Structure 1
Amino acid sequence: MQRLDHAIRCLPMHGSSFFGIITKYKGIDLLLQAFIRLSEKNSNLYLVIAGRVSDEYTEEFGQLMNQYDHHPQIVKILKHIPKEEVPLLFEAADVVLLPYLEASQSGVLFMSYANGKPVIAPNLGGFPNDVVEGKTGLLFEPGDAESLYSALVKFNNQYESDFKNSKESIITFSRENYSWEQSGKKLIEIYNHLIG
């Protein structure tokens, strides 16, 4: 296992990042299928998988990763990521990948936006409400490796025109929609509506 700062400095351009506790429902197998296919066409891409593997997924994840142990475009940082190192992950990524098979929401999405990074997320739960297609990211059909692959291809094709310079607009979107102040205003609106 590598130190995060060293691993990040050694990466070439055009990175994708998966970050968080690694569990089965987060769709790493799907992500690997889609990424491997894409990497066969572009050797300048890389994937960072960073986070602690959950106890119940350790054995299955180990077997899955054995297939890709020496893949030159996959960087694995399989440990708890201390809070002070988290910004390095976002700095290294052009896009944050959320290949979840099931979820209603993800804290990683909001952290990505706060760091000005677009996401590729499943079309389930609250994600369709939080991802502005082509502005803050892209959606794919959950559980569908082909759909995730297509979203990765689309992102790479649109990176220069739509996403390369989107950091400030994504941060602004995050502040306007997800700050504590905005959350408080929305809560007050709900209370006022309920009490009539």
Structure 2
Amino acid sequence: MKMTIVGPTYPFRGGIAQHTTLLCNTLRLHHDVQFISFTRQYPKLIFPGKTDRDPSKNALRSDPVEYLVDSLNPYSWYKTTQRIIQFKPDKIIFPWWVIFWAPQTWYIIKKIRKKIQTKIIIVCHNVADHENNVIKEKINRLVLKNSDILITQSKEETGKLRKLLGQKIATDSIQTGFHPTYADLCLDSPQHGGGTRTNHELLFFGFVRKYKGLDVLLDALALIRDQKNIHLNIVGEFWKDKQSYLEKIKELGIANNVTIMDEYVPNEQLGRHFLAADLVVQPYLSASGSGVSQLAYGFGKPVIATNVGSIGEVVQDWVNGRLVAPNDPAALARAIVESLEEDQLKKMQHEAEKVRYRFSWEKFAEMITEC
């Protein structure tokens, strides 16, 4: 089967680029896949990070790639449609995660439909932006209704999608999949980070944004800092308001219990951070899904999370982690302390390792092939 994927890959960084690349690599095991990526993603004015380029020495790649799409150059969108039309794929796959890509995606789909018969598949990482509004909903609807198949990665997101589209799309056009684990990426990462230590280590990983609830985790840490010698590693780029978090850490008197690494983590350093952790904590106030959970399970680490979005479809309370209500520092603190009990921690670590291969890329690729 001939397929085209239009999405980010190396040298661009982040979970969507990794997801799209791993999907392409898996599909290429059995199919002829044209991979089209970007020459430019976001203009500097609207990208809050330090850079959108992946600093990894052990970069995740998929070759060959045609770098054609410039987000700000409509002529590049036209060239992209011409290359796809020449290839004549049976299916075209677009990842969907942020409203910024609506004009480009809509244009490419519309132009291609006029020239060739093909099936348009959109893989929805986020049905709606984390900062959503009525205008964004209308734009989302405009793009998504032009697909043939919409694949979500959780039941939660499927529900949002049905609510968004209403009667505008056939029921069988929406399929509920899953977020595959990053087991291969984890196994390729240098396996170090254990060793002798006296602290119980918590890990908050990923871009620091308000909806991720880091302030709630800091409040929870203040409640339990003297128990079990607990230490928190905050590893990820602060997009804004870093100073407010630093002030909060100082006010709570937990500076000695917190280490901050304000930068994007290259692939070869993932093992250093995840293997050093006893628990990965996701105190999110809201969420769709999260690649961090699957990254944690790729390293066999239990996850302590809030029961928001689709996280509860992966994290099983008292099995491979704990689930608590959002914005509740006391409940989060209790869950952390209870999970660090020796027998409980060993049990959850054992169950976390089982998740590693339950959600495989092969199964996800098969779902796309058969739809």
TM-score range, shorter chain: 0.7 to 0.9
Structure (1/2) with the larger strand percentage: 2
Give me the TM-score of the superposition, normalised by structure 2.
0.44
Query: Which is bigger in relative contact order (C-alpha 8 A, separation at least 6)?
Result: 1
| Distance 1:64-1:13 versus aligned 2 partners, 3 A rule | closer
Q: Within 1, Cα distance between the matches of 2:194 and 2:354?
A: 26
* Correspondence for 2:258: 74
Structure 1 unaligned blocks of 5 or more: 1-6, 192-196
Task: For 2:338 and 2:315, locate their aligned partners in 1 and report how far apart those are by CA, in whole Å.
Answer: 15
Aligned to 2:220: 34
Determine if contact 2:284/2:306 at 8 Å carries over to the other structure. yes
1:153 deviates by 2.1
Identical columns (%): 30
Aligned amino acid, residue 30 of structure 1 = V
Is 2:337 the counterpart of 1:161?
no
> Cα deviation per residue 1:98-123 (whole Å; 9 max; x = unaligned)?
01111111111000000000000111
**Aligned mate of 1:22, from 183, 208, 226:** 208
2:309 pairs, out of 105, 118, 125, with 125
Q: In the aligned structure 1, how far is the partner of 2:264 from the partner of 2:194?
A: 16
* TM-score (norm. length: structure 1): 0.80
Partner of 2:327: 143
What amino acid is the match of 1:133? Answer: D
Max Rg structure? 2
Amino acid in the other structure paired with 2:283 = P
Q: 1:59 to 1:76 in 2, by over 3 A?
A: closer
Q: Distance in 2 between matches of 1:36 and 1:117?
A: 23
Structure 1 or 2: larger helix share?
1
- Judging changes above 3 Å, is the alpha-carbon distance between structure 1 residues 9 and 64 closer, same or farther for their aligned structure 2 residues? farther
Q: Are 1:173 and 2:355 an aligned pair?
A: yes
Aligned partner of residue 53 in structure 1, secondary structure: coil
Question: Aligned with 2:241: secondary structure?
Answer: helix
**2:236 aligned residue (36, 51, 55):** 51
Distance 1:120 1:23, change over 3 A: same
How far off its partner does 1:14 sit?
1.5
| Amino acid aligned to 1:150 | R
> Which AA in structure 1 matches 2:345?
F
Answer whether contact 1:16 1:47 (CA < 8 A) is retained: yes
AA aligned to 2:206 is G
* Residue correspondences, number: 179
Contact residue 12 and residue 46 of structure 1 kept, 8 A:
no
Following the alignment from structure 2 to structure 1, what is the Cα–Cα distance between the partners of residues 274 and 243?
28
- Pairwise CA distance, 1:11: 5.6
Residues 149 and 167 (structure 1), Cα distance of their counterparts in 2 relative to 1, 3 Å cut: closer
Q: Using the TM superposition, give the Cα deviation of residue 143 of structure 1 relative to its aligned residue in structure 2, in angstroms.
A: 1.1
